[in-house]
Amino acid sequence: MDHPPIPLSLAAAGPLTGIVTVPGDKSISHRSLMLGALAVGETVITGLLEGEDVLATAAAMTAMGASIQKKDQTWHVHGVGVGGLLQPQTALDMGNSGTSTRLLMGLVASHPITATFIGDASLSRRPMGRVIDPLSLMGASFTASPGGRLPLTMQGLCPAVPLRYTLPVASAQVKSAVLLAGLNTPGRTVVIEPVATRDHSERMLAGFGATLTVEPSPEGRIITLHGEPELRPQIITVPGDPSSAAFPLVAALIVPGSDVTIANVGMNPTRAGLVTILQAMGADISVMHPRTVGGEPVADLVVRHGALTGIEVPPDIAPSMIDEFPILFVAAAFAQGTTIMTGLDELRVKESDRIAVMAAGLAACGVTLKELPDGLAITGTGGDPLPGGATVDAHLDHRIAMSFAILGLNARAPVTIDDARPIATSFPTFVAMMESLGATRRK
């Protein structure tokens, strides 16, 4: 990053109130740019998340031949057609974004091009072997940094070899990488998913006109994509990101007297685990006006402050709320009793080790907890303020930064995040939205 760190500390002098919207869904935004760039004709996107991660995807697709422009409030993508991506002239800078990296590696794998992927310090620590393995089976070749990390250079193969692949980790990024590689591959590419993960790729591939089937089986969901389709351009409305909505939602639950509505939130069942778990903890959340927008379920969430009770979170719900655990840990810190959250090994390989980094920051703020190999057990205050009074190292992780900014809203002494800049990767309007609900920046 070009600028020095920007510390952040938020406070709430009274209840949080109001109606807000959150920016567009990050996963859907990435995919709408990628598939728009492979369709023949103009795809028009409303509500695209203009966060750094998505802009990294836009820049990479442009570097490989697509035309992507913003006019007024909509984004216009002119695609190159399946198989039409061009050799990028410089390294593709993925910034902080795992989704951009892994999905674009999938796209490159079945094109006759060579691409180098680079990223920031956080992204350069994350494992890429999970996509290198299946994409190698399809014929791509790789020169990666030790441990299968960035920077890496890959050479795609055209025609690539269709693959039948059972996911060894519950990862929508790995699933999507293989499916996207399958687009420019003759024959059928099959991904078997023992544990269901977010299904935006499947929905959007079908929406763009690809032939894709999903069948349940004893082995899991069997997703079959017929290669070499002609993708038809689409008009896409991106719903609000449930992973971003999680922050004002938990803020309203922990700040006494709060009453907040978050409008237009994506409620795809593969993403909505947090609402289910918070409701099981006793949270007052009403799911209003359920509807379908652009092939995705959407609703308005009305959230009121109230008592939370610790529970044991069933590990099998984790994939449907994988990015929401840092903020669930914060909710648990204000619950009555102990919340036990396990089955979260994947959190250790996100933008930071989200188990270790959250445990350290929560402990510094006075939270009683036990770090487990695959999760955390957190004993809450029963709603009372936490001591706070810590400066937390966010480790270049937007979700850690936002989680501690929210925790600080009910702490006796300020909680400061060392560097708020990573928040712009997924939620550039986070502070402004919290201010509109009544939170203030502490000087």
Ligand X SMILES: C=C(OP(=O)(O)O)C(=O)O
Out of 97, 171, 258, 339, the only residue in the binding site for ligand X (CB under 6 A) is 97
User: Is 323 annotated in the active site?
Assistant: yes
Residue 323 near ligand X by CB under 6 A: yes
Amino acid occupying residue 432: A
The owner of tokens 């930071």 is 352
Secondary structure of residue 227 in the 3-state scheme? coil
Interaction residues for ligand S3P, span 129-188 (CB under 6 A): 171-173, 176
Question: Does the protein bind ligand S3P through residue 27 (CB under 6 A)?
Answer: yes
Q: Is 173 annotated as belonging to a binding site?
A: yes
User: Per CB under 6 A, which of residues 200..259 are in contact with ligand S3P?
Assistant: none
Whether 43 contacts 234, CB under 8 Å: yes
Check: CB of residue 92 under 8 Å from CB of residue 60.
Answer: yes
Q: Is 149 annotated as a binding residue?
A: no
| Sequence-ordered list of residues with C-beta below 8 angstroms from that of 113, at least 6 positions apart, any chain | 64, 85, 86, 87, 88, 155, 156
Q: Which residue from 37, 48, 154, 322 is in contact with ligand S3P, where contact means CB under 6 A?
A: 322
To the question of whether residue 175 is assigned a binding role by annotation, the answer is no
- The residue from 31, 221, 305, 350 that contacts ligand X (CB under 6 A) is 350
- Asked if 342 and 369 count as a contact pair (C-beta separation under 8 A), the reply is no
271 among annotated binding-site residues? no
C-beta closer to ligand S3P: residue 398 or 421: 398
**Does the protein bind ligand X through residue 106 (CB under 6 A)?**
no
Q: Is 399 annotated as a binding residue?
A: yes
Q: Which two tokens stand for residue 207?
A: 């929406």
Helix (H) or strand (E) holding 142: strand 141-145
Task: Give the one residue of 9, 29, 99, 184 binding ligand X; rule: CB under 6 A.
Answer: 99
Contact region for ligand X (CB under 6 A) — 97-105, 246-254, 308-316, 366-374? 97-105
Q: How far is the CB of 70 from ligand X (least distance, A)?
A: 21
CA dist list (Å): 269 to 174, 263, 266: 19, 17, 9
27 contact, one of ligand S3P, ligand X, none, CB 5-8 Å limit per kind: ligand S3P
Stretch that binds ligand X, among 94-102, 152-160, 291-299, 328-336 (CB under 6 A): 94-102
Tell whether 98 is in a known binding site. yes
Size of the site for ligand X (CB under 6 A): 9
Q: Per CB under 6 A, which of residues 379..418 are in contact with ligand S3P?
A: none
Total number of residues shown for the chain:
443
Give the integer Cα–Cα distance in Å for 61 and 80.
10
Where do the H-state alpha helices sit in 257-381?
273-280, 325-332, 354-364
Residues in contact with ligand S3P, counted by CB under 6 A, come to a total of 10
Q: b/e for 59-90, b at 16 or more Cβ within 10 A?
A: bbbbbbbbebeeeeeebebbbbebbebeebee
Instruction: Tell me: does residue 176 bind ligand X (CB under 6 A).
Output: no
Q: Per rule CB under 6 A, is residue 25 in the interface with ligand S3P? A: no
Out of 296, 300, 351, 393, the residue judged to bind ligand X by CB under 6 A: 351
Using CB atoms within 10 Å of the CB of residue 187, give its burial: 0 to 12 exposed, 13 to 18 middle, 19+ buried: middle
351 interacts with, out of ligand S3P, ligand X, none, CB within 5 to 8 A per kind: ligand X
Would you state the torsion angle of the CA atoms of residues 434, 438, 441, 443, taken in this order, to the nearest 10 degrees? 180
CA 287, CA 228: separation in Å to the nearest integer? 40
CB atoms within 10 A of CB 280: 15
Q: Quick one: CA torsion of 174, 324, 202, 230, rounded to 10 degrees?
A: -80
For residue 250, the minimal CB distance to ligand S3P (Å) is 18
Which of 98, 162, 242, 343 is close enough to bind ligand X by CB under 6 A? 98
- Measured from the CB atom, the residue of 176 and 189 that comes closer to ligand X is 176
Q: Which of 241, 323, 393, 419 is catalytic?
A: 323
Assess 97 for contact with ligand S3P (CB under 6 A). no
State the DSSP string of 167-192: -SS--HHHHHHHHHHHHTSSSEEEEE
Strand partners, 118: 93
For residues 399 to 418, the per-residue mask of contacts with ligand X, x marking binding by CB under 6 A and - elsewhere, is x-------------------
The residue sitting closest to ligand X, measured at its beta carbon, is 98
- Which whole-number Å values give the CA distances from 383 to 228, 280, 409, in the listed order? 55, 16, 12
Known binding positions? 26-27, 31, 98, 126, 171, 173, 323, 350, 354, 399
Known binding positions for 3-phosphoshikimate? 26-27, 31, 171, 173, 323, 350
* Binding positions for ligand S3P, rule: CB under 6 A: 27, 99, 171-173, 176, 198, 322-323, 346
* Binding positions for ligand X, rule: CB under 6 A: 53, 97-99, 323, 350-351, 399, 426
Indicate which residues carry an active-site annotation.
323
Known binding positions for phosphoenolpyruvate? 26, 98, 126, 173, 354, 399
